[in-house]
Amino acid sequence: MAPNNQAADDLLSKRESTAELDCDGVLVTPNERNTLLLIIAALAQKAGIDPAHHKSASAISDLISLLGASVSSPTIRDKLNMIPAAVARREVVVGRKRTGK
């Protein structure tokens, strides 16, 4: 008799409903997306790029072209605009861990 996998199916369904597919068709969860946004923020800061500056998307697009790839400035701008919320979410999570809430 096969074990009841309803709980596992429910968990997978929940993950899929809050995730997006990356370029390889792999699910990217909100937590993974936030982590990637934080990495982008840290690298931008180290490179002296202010993600909020209106010319940052163009500068990053130019850097990407040096890799032999291309991403449009509007696409980059959309992702850069997600950084403040990702940082805020991480600060809340870290704050909860510190205070034990």
Tell me which residue range forms the domain holding 91.
26-99
Answer whether residue 34 is part of any domain. yes
Query: What is the tally of structural domains in the chain?
Result: 1
The answer to whether residue 50 is domain-embedded is yes
Instruction: Specify if 37 maps to a domain.
Output: yes
pLDDT tens profile 65-82: 999 999 999 999 999 999
Q: What is the pTM of this model?
A: 0.67
Q: Which distant-in-sequence residues (6+ apart) come within 8 Å of 20 by Cβ? A: 27, 28, 33
Cβ(79)–Cβ(37) below 8 Å: yes
What pLDDT, in 10s, does the model give residues 5-48? 666 566 555 555 555 665 677 788 889 999 999 999 999 999 99
